[in-house]
């Protein structure tokens, strides 16, 4: 079961674009309202990279200091401006957890018809190399 941590993305019901991780059953989301997203080709996306945000989160003590940004399952919410569709792209180990997907959709005020998909960029070590996540007892969130 995913640990519950109250996420606060404002009182606005505006859909958000985001990047996220699932770290030891804790959902970590960095998001902005769609109107504050960054144009990227024909998409609007979160204006930050996984690696840069991960480094900041490590500095803040919110993620394990010894882990790399790509070690855990991660993903991104993008908006296709041409069609108005939202895409939740994530590691398959996140997409398989329907409760986690439902929570992401709810927290980010995404429409029910958000499209789900995988992307080669968002594969954790376990999915890439076939071995488990680092579960060091000394790692604290």
pLDDT value for 5: 43
pLDDT per 10-residue tile (average), the chain, 141 residues: 46 88 94 95 93 96 92 94 95 92 96 90 65 44 40
End-to-end CA distance of the chain: 17
The first and second tokens of residue 91, run together, are 């590691």
pLDDT value for 6 = 41
**pTM value > 0.85:** no
pLDDT of residue 133: 47
């Amino acid at each position: 079961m995913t640990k519950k941590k109250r996420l606060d993305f404002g009182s606005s019901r505006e859909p958000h674009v985001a990047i996220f991780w699932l770290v030891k059953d804790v959902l970590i989301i960095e998001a902005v309202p769609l109107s504050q997203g960054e144009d990227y080709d024909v998409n609007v996306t979160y204006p930050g990279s996984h690696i840069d945000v991960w480094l900041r989160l490590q500095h803040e003590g919110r993620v394990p200091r010894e882990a790399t940004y790509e070690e855990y399952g991660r993903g991104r919410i993008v908006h296709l401006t041409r069609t108005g569709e939202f895409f939740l792209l994530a590691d398959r180990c996140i997409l398989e957890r329907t409760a986690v997907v439902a929570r992401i959709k709810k927290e980010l005020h995404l429409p029910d018809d958000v499209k789900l998909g995988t992307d080669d960029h968002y594969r954790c070590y376990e999915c890439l190399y076939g071995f488990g996540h680092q579960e060091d007892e000394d790692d604290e969130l």
